[in-house]
Structure 1
Amino acid sequence: MARFQDRSIIVTGAGSGIGRAAATLFAAEGGKVVVADINDTADATVQAIRDAGGTAEAIRIDAGSEEDVAKAVALACDRFGGLDVMFANAGISGGMANIFDTDVSLITEVLRVNLIGPYLAVKHAAPRIAERAGQTGRGGAIILTASVAGIRSGAGSPAYSASKAGVINLAMVSAQQLSGSNVRVNAICPGLTETGMTKPTFDYARDANKMDRVGRLNPLRRGAQPEELAKVALFLASDDASYVNGQAIAVDGGLSSSHPVTKQEYGRTAV
């Protein structure tokens, strides 16, 4: 497949996890990718893409800095002649403290990266994507990484959950405000996924021989791998999703499909 042949793409948080998986897949399908991350792990992602015959450029940015986001957009336009896709994926967890034990400075930082970051991505990327869409006659796309924690309680800290709820609404508002531009905006809502953010959980489960408990609350009874989330992001960025706009897609093994109920076991009813 070459759904992104010669298309210019930015992926933030692309030094690891979902971002790295997405950047690699975009490049494998012909995309020219700006790999953006606050860490120098972006270089390893770029090297892997180039080793596989793809095209990529690395840039170190703070996803919550307007100046840095603008630089990433400028790089894509300068190197690749414009911008077709922005995947605003970068985020931080903010720990697990409850409302009463969370310092305001932590909430402020989580919102800065997780919500203001995607806002800045839309603000700076959308005009360039719309410009490119006008030149090529094909649509462009923005994908934001939200979370199931933004849908309802129980999947993250107050700060993290509030930030991701904001991302979901931002996707909807942005889609409306970009009416007529041929730029679509959608969000993905990952469930438990094995990334740098969740590495301690997965490492503990493996060391304690308790991997069967990871993701046990969703119907698939497992956690996700980054590629499983990245493939949904690529779908939303592609022409295959040309009529999908303003949506938040849960990719969580079915976790968010139910309110708490008495658990049913396959083939029998739990008492």
Structure 2
Amino acid sequence: MEDSIHLAAKYSAPAMAVTSTAKKHQSGSIICTASVAGLRSNAGPSDYSASKSSVISLVQTIAFQLARTGVRINAICPGLIETGMTASLYDAARARGVQNKIGQINPLGRGAHADEVARVALFLGSDESSYVNGQAWAVDGGLSAGHPFIPGTPIK
């Protein structure tokens, strides 16, 4: 995994620096998908968390490699959202009638909807985010803002 990430950065950075000659001003936006698991521990298995953390590091490094090209790069770090990867979790929760517990450990108390993550991507890809570069945007209902706390009787 480490070699493939290194090679991706080494060989893709020069290509990312090339912008269209048809544009009056060079600009562009690269949006990578990471995960809240790359920002905080215990948000996913260690191999998954390490790979998503590598994406965030790559974004920060490439932001400097593309300095003064007008091309920005950022990462979106979704929390729990229903996707193909999490479908079995959502299906199991629905089957047990506990789907309302999904996402209960984040301050918003629910999982994300795909359109909520998509709106962040639209913002990062637009000129509205023209001064945003090299950042990891957590779209996780506030999970990464602190340590999860579940009210109730403490375990003894």
TM-score (norm 2): 0.86
Q: RMSD of aligned C-alpha atoms?
A: 2.7
* Cα deviation digits, residues 200-239 of structure 1 (max 9, x gap): 0111111111011100100111111111111101110110
Structure 1 segment 129-148 matched on structure 2, within 5 A: 130-132=18-20, 135-148=23-36
Amino acid in the other structure paired with 1:183: V
Instruction: Identify if the C-alpha distance between structure 1 residues 135 and 124 changes in structure 2 by more than 3 Å, giving closer, same or farther.
Output: same
> Alignment partner of 1:131: what SS?
coil
Q: In structure 1, what is the equivalent of residue 13 of structure 2?
A: 123
1:238–1:117 CA distance, 2 compared to 1 (3 A): farther
Q: Indicate the residue corresponding to 2:128 in structure 1.
A: 240
Report the alpha carbon displacement of residue 137 of structure 1 after superposing the two structures with TM. Answer: 1.4
Measure, in 1, the Cα distance between the counterparts of 2:91 and 2:75: 28
Aligned runs of 1:90-129 on 2, under 5 Å?
A: 108=1, 112=4, 115=5, 119=9, 122-123=12-13, 125-127=15-17
Instruction: Provide the residue aligned with 1:186 in structure 2.
Output: 74
In structure 1, runs of 5+ residues without a counterpart are: 1-107, 265-269
Residue pairs, 1:76-95, within 5 angstroms: none
Q: Secondary structure at the match of 2:109?
A: coil
Q: Give deviations 1:5-64, integer Å, cap 9, x for gaps.
A: xxxxxxxxxxxxxxxxxxxxxxxxxxxxxxxxxxxxxxxxxxxxxxxxxxxxxxxxxxxx
In the TM superposition, 1:229-268 aligns within 5 A as 229-261=117-149, 263=151
8 Å Cα contact 1:218-1:254 kept in structure 2: yes
Change (3 A) 1:261 1:117: farther
Q: Distance in 1 between matches of 2:16 and 2:137?
A: 20
Q: What's the offset of the Cα at 1:198? A: 0.5
Residues 122 and 174, structure 1, Cα contact 8 Å, conserved in 2: no
Aligned counterpart in structure 2 of residue 198 of structure 1, from 86, 94, 99: 86
Aligned partners of 1:111 and 1:163 also within 8 Å: no
Residue aligning to 1:217? 105
Distance 1:117 1:222 in 2: 37
Counterpart in the other structure of 1:64:
none
Letter in 2 for 1:199: A
Provide the TM-score with structure 1 as the length reference. Answer: 0.51
The runs of 5 or more residues in structure 2 that have no matched partner are none
> 1:261 offset after TM fit, Å?
4.7
Higher normalized contact order (CA 8 Å, seq sep 6+, divided by chain length):
2
Q: How much has 1:260 moved relative to structure 2?
A: 4.2
Compared CA separation, residues 228 and 262, structure 1 to 2 (3 A): closer
Instruction: Tell me what 2:47 maps to.
Output: 159
* Misfit runs of 4+, over 4 Å: 115-118, 260-264
Aligned length: 154
More strand by share: 1
**In structure 1, what is the Cα distance between the partners aligned to 2:12 and 2:143?**
28
Q: Any conservation in 1 of the 2:107–2:141 contact (CA below 8 Å)?
A: yes
